[in-house]
């Protein structure tokens, strides 16, 4: 078996596309989970892009051990300086530098000749090598480049010291057989290719990112790049969980192995979805809510007779728990602790007491508390650092259109009550919170969905606030009362902004 290295770029290519700035704490939380998942490389950000990204990469480099921490740069001295500084405390630092190599990138974007591009690529790799021994070079838009030119660039950067060469399909244009052929072409024609690892990095514009990555792996690539849940620029990146499970399920076909702990896949997917606010579609391969649900009578009958009739992956393998205890308002701490343990949460003492109290509040409103409710319960941290708390809320409507909300917030220990009108309860609610907090950001998006299926389901509200400086901040709130969930989501977004300044 060949070793396949898993390079996660959720925090860089994934975050880049969202328009949402994840703060340092959120990035670190995802980073810790990626270490648990067992990825080999975490691309933590693009440090030269903003002071916030620089800080996130620096913190991740300092905190996460036993994993390669990578930072992205353009082939620009200043980017590399900033990246090297951000990575200074990493146990295993990697600089990921590169430049566009297709005609359209060289002529239109960079306005450089092919010779100048080679010169810049080589200079960037040599400069990065002054700081770290592990330098990955990306040949941006490699798939649309002239293959003989690509071979020349790759050959030169390996001579300059690149340890990994990344051959991206930046715009998701490839067909699987063509991408596989390009990887074979590079492997067969770059003379010094044995001195570096070949990496595949695909985008999903035509829905083929996973298939293309697998074709590249089959052709000999030893590193795969992607994101959790496939988040990323435009239609996204390769979904790492799909690649990992394809390789796991069809080991016969690839001859490679990873060191990923597949049992952490489900937890990682949920965490990324919760923190980024990007919902995973129910039908998404591997991590969608319906990925293991058998709905039709014929399928149910088959699965009851033998799982293998319609199941190619056992849910436990990706960490989807098989829970047998039903939780209700009468359940004790021990039952709750057991069910949380099955879901991968290990809590005890005062933390358990605190979660148990929130569990009882929820269970009072529901006949049964399901796994999905528990995930929410564990993720519901209220407003960040509790600097804004919802203390009271009432809505009155007179007729169909107008509503009045009266809200009491506790802001840093001070109780403030106010009221405002709006065209509907949610509008009135948000107007009141704006009056109390002096919020000037505009509401860019508001969604409401039920987390579980019964009529007493827990509602999840998501709010996106756009600030004048362009930052988009996401807030989430959960409650069996949808107005309360909406208030909590709005307050959560405001509190986050206050925390990150």
Residues of this chain that bind Zn ion (CB under 5 A): 13
Place of tokens 């995973």: 280
The entry of ligand KIV, Zn ion, none that residue 138 binds, CB within 5 to 8 Å by partner kind: ligand KIV
- One of 13, 15, 40, 79 touching ligand KIV (CB under 6 A): 13
73 binds ligand KIV (CB under 6 A): no
Q: Does 425 bind ligand KIV (CB under 6 A)?
A: no
In the bound complex, what is the minimum distance in angstroms from residue 162's beta carbon to ligand KIV?
13
The beta strand positions in 386-495, using DSSP E, are 388-397, 403-411, 414-422, 442-450, 459-466, 472-479
Closest by Cα among 258, 201, 271 to 229: 271
User: Which among 188, 183, 252 has a CA at the least distance from the CA of 223?
Assistant: 183
Least Cβ distance, residue 13 to ligand KIV (angstroms): 5
Closest by Cα among 148, 133, 144, 70 to 106: 144
Q: CA–CA separation, 426 vs 432, rounded Å?
A: 10
Exactly one of 201, 270, 366, 496 binds ligand KIV (CB under 6 A); which one? 201
From 170, 204, 383, 479, residue interacting with ligand KIV (rule: CB under 6 A): 170
Residue 92 contact among ligand KIV, Zn ion, none, beta carbon within 5 to 8 Å by kind: none
Interface positions, 111-150, toward ligand KIV (CB under 6 A): 138, 140
Reading the block at residue 470, the tokens are 């362009």
Rg (CA), the chain: 25
Residue 401 CB, nearest approach to ligand KIV (Å) = 48
Question: Dihedral (C-alpha) 300, 301, 307, 308: value to the nearest 10 degrees?
Answer: -110
First to last CA, the chain: 49
Binding range to ligand KIV, per CB under 6 A, among 125-133, 165-173, 289-297, 316-324 = 165-173
Using the minimum distance from each CB to ligand KIV, give the nearer residue, 209 or 256: 209
> Closest CB to ligand KIV among 200 and 287?
200
**If binding means CB under 6 A, how many residues of this protein chain bind ligand KIV?**
8
The token pair at 212 is 């293309």
Applying CB under 6 A, does 105 fall inside the site for ligand KIV? no
CA dist 472 and 465 (Å) reads 6
Q: Give the nearer residue to ligand KIV in terms of CB position, either 16 or 383.
A: 16
Answer whether 201's CB lies under 8 Å from 166's CB.
yes
Q: Which of 31, 168, 216, 230 binds ligand KIV (CB under 6 A)?
A: 168
Q: Which of Zn ion, ligand KIV, none has residue 439 at its interface (CB below 5 to 8 Å by kind)? A: none
Residue by residue, DSSP assigns 234-271 as TT-B-BHHHHHHHHHHTHHHH-EE----GGGHHHHHHH
Name the residues that contact ligand KIV, by CB under 6 A.
13, 138, 140, 166, 168, 170, 201, 203
């Amino acid at each position: 078996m060949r070793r396949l290295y898993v390079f996660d770029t959720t925090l860089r290519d994934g975050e880049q596309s969202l328009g949402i700035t994840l703060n340092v704490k959120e990035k670190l939380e995802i980073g810790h989970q990626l270490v648990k998942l067992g990825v080999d490389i975490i691309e933590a950000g693009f440090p030269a892009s903003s002071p916030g990204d620089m800080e996130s990469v620096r913190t991740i480099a300092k905190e996460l051990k036993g994993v390669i921490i990578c930072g992205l740069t353009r082939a620009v001295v200043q980017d590399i300086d900033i990246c090297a500084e951000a990575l200074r405390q990493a146990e295993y630092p990697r600089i990921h530098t590169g430049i566009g190599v297709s005609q359209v990138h060289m002529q239109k974007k960079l306005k450089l000749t092919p010779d100048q591009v080679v010169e810049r690529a080589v200079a960037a790799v040599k400069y990065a090598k002054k700081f770290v021994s592990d330098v990955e070079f990306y040949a941006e838009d490699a798939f649309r480049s002239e293959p003989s030119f690509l071979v020349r660039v790759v050959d030169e950067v390996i001579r300059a010291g690149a340890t990994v060469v990344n051959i991206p399909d930046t715009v998701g244009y490839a067909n699987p057989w063509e991408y596989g052929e390009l990887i074979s072409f590079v492997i067969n024609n770059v003379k010094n290719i044995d001195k570096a690892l070949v990496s595949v990095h695909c985008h999903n514009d035509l829905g083929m990112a996973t298939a293309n990555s697998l074709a590249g792996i089959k052709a000999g690539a030893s590193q795969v790049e992607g994101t959790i849940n496939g988040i990323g620029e435009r239609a996204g990146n390769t979904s790492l969980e799909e690649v990992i499970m394809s390789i796991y399920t069809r080991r016969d076909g690839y001859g490679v192995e990873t060191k990923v702990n597949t049992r952490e896949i489900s937890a990682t997917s949920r965490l990324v979805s919760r923190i980024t606010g990007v919902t995973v579609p129910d039908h998404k391969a591997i991590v969608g809510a319906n990925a293991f649900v058998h709905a039709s009578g014929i399928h149910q009958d088959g699965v009851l007779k033998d799982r293998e009739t319609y199941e190619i992956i056992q849910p436990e393998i990706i960490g989807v728990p098989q829970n047998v205890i039903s939780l209700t308002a009468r359940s004790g701490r021990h039952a709750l602790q057991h069910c949380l343990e099955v879901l991968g949460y290990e809590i005890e003492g005062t933390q358990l007491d605190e979660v148990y109290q929130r569990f009882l509040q929820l269970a009072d409103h529901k006949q049964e508390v399901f796994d999905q409710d528990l995930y929410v319960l564990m993720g519901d941290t209220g407003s960040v650092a509790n600097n804004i708390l919802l203390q009271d809320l009432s809505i009155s409507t007179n007729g169909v259109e107008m509503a009045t909300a009266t809200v009491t917030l506790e802001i840093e220990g001070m109780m403030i009550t106010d009221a405002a009108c709006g065209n509907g309860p949610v509008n009135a609610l948000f107007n009141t919170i704006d009056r109390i907090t002096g919020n000037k950001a505009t509401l860019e998006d508001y969604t409401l969905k039920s987390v579980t299926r019964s009529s007493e389901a827990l509602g999840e509200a998501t709010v996106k606030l756009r600030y004048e400086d362009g930052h988009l901040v996401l807030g989430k709130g959960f409650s069996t009362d949808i107005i309360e969930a909406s208030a909590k989501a709005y307050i959560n977004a405001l509190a986050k902004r206050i925390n990150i300044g």
